Amino acid sequence: GAVVSQHPSRVICKSGTSVKIECRSLDFQATTMFWYRQFPKKSLMLMATSNEGSKATYEQGVEKDKFLINHASLTLSTLTVTSAHPEDSSFYICSARVRDVEAFFGQGTRLTVV
Amino acid sequence: GQNIDQPTEMTATEGAIVQINCTYQTSGFNGLFWYQQHAGEAPTFLSYNVLDGLEEKGRFSSFLSRSKGYSYLLLKELQMKDSASYLCAVRDSNYQLIWGAGTKLIIKP
């Protein structure tokens, strides 16, 4: 089956620094990937839809300049959290749509900003 | 507004059967998904329903009634490893997933 690999699984960074999270489709081409954020004991919150070769579509309330998304190839989308602050600490998850089904999620990245 | 309702928490016994319900009100409908999520991990896809009826996949089955805006996930022969949160999500007319808050399922021996 299709596999989505997300890296890193955990990262701790200092306040004010930037962190890049990668999401790769390993055995298929993902023209569309999704980035989610999840708070403890809460459901997933869609942050943005990443389309290969074009600008990402951000959800209302998500800061484009803070959460930079790049989808430069059919197998890689990246999320960069810029100038991170403690309130950005969260669980970030990517997913890919394959044949009309949102079936494949990355492993998730636990970001802690200290 | 768009809304997905599912119970917050359910408890069941190992070896038994449990049904997790999901009702939805969305702008259009393009399929309903069920996911399993263990604590600290990303969701895992379980099922996809786009037509009315029952989809069976091993110990798990998912049912959909579009006219009632209702779905359920049925888990049979419960095992301790089934303890997890179960998320219901509906894809709306804009092809965007609307997520329920999840049902935490606790399995007792």
Interface contact A101-B45, CB threshold 8 A: yes
> DSSP class of residue B46?
E
User: Is 80 exceeded by the pLDDT of residue A12?
Assistant: yes
Interface contact A102-B42, CB threshold 8 A: no
pLDDT band at A37 (very low <50, low <70, confident <90, very high): very high
The whole-number pLDDT of residue B82 equals 97
**Set of chain A residues whose Cβ sits within 8 Å of the Cβ of B1:** none
**Set of chain A residues whose Cβ sits within 8 Å of the Cβ of B31:** 100-101
Give the number of other CB atoms < 10 A from CB of residue A67.
20
Interatomic CA distance for residues B26 and B44, integer angstroms: 23
Interface check B106 vs A, CB under 8 A:
no
Interface contact B100-A43, CB threshold 8 A: yes
Top residue of A102, A107, A110 to mutate, by most chain B CBs within 10 Å, is A102
The whole-number pLDDT of residue A1 equals 59
Does residue A89 contact residue A111 with C-beta atoms inside 8 Å? yes
Structure tokens at A87: 């309130």
Q: What is the pLDDT of residues A45-66, one digit of tens each?
A: 999 998 888 889 999 999 999 9
Q: Which amino acid is at A14?
A: K
Which residue from B85, B106, B88 is spatially nearest to B98, judged by alpha carbons? B88
The whole-number pLDDT of residue A55 equals 87
The whole-number pLDDT of residue A67 equals 97
b/e per residue B38-56 (b: at least 16 CB within 10 A): eeeebbebbbbbeeeeebe
Interface contact B43-A43, CB threshold 8 A: no
Structure tokens at A95: 């997913």
Q: What is the pLDDT of residues B50-82, one digit of tens each?
A: 999 999 999 999 999 999 999 999 999 999 999
Q: What is the pLDDT of residues B7-51, one digit of tens each?
A: 999 999 999 999 999 999 999 999 999 999 998 888 999 999 999
What DSSP assignment string belongs to A61-105?
T--TTTEEEEEEETTEEEEEE-S--GGG-EEEEEEEEETTEEEEE
Q: Is residue B106 left, alpha or beta, with left meaning phi > 0 and alpha meaning psi from -120 to 50?
A: beta
pLDDT band at A97 (very low <50, low <70, confident <90, very high): confident
